[in-house]
Chains A and B, each alone.
Chain A
Amino acid sequence: MANTEAALKEIMTSIEGTIGVALVDYTSGMALGTAGGSKELDLTVAAAGNTDVVRAKVRTMEHLGLNEDIEDILITLGTQYHMIRLLRGRGTNGLFLYVALDKGRANLAMARHQLRKIENELEV
Chain B
Amino acid sequence: MTVLNQTTDSRTAAAPAPAPRRRKPLATRAYKVFRVVALIAVVLFLVAPLFWMLLASFKTNVDIYDTGKSFFFTPTGENYANVLQRNNYFVFIFNSFWVAFVSTALSLVLGVPAAYAMSRFTMHRSALVVLMARVIPGVSLLVPWYYVFSNLKMVGGFEVLILSHMFVALPLIVYIMMSYFDSMPLELEESAQVDGLTPIGAFRRITLPLSVAGIATAGILSFIFSWNNFMFALVLSGSKTKTLPVAIFDFVSYASIDWGGLMAAATVVTIPIMIIALFTQKYIVSGLTAGATKG
- Asked if chains A and B come from one complex, the reply is no
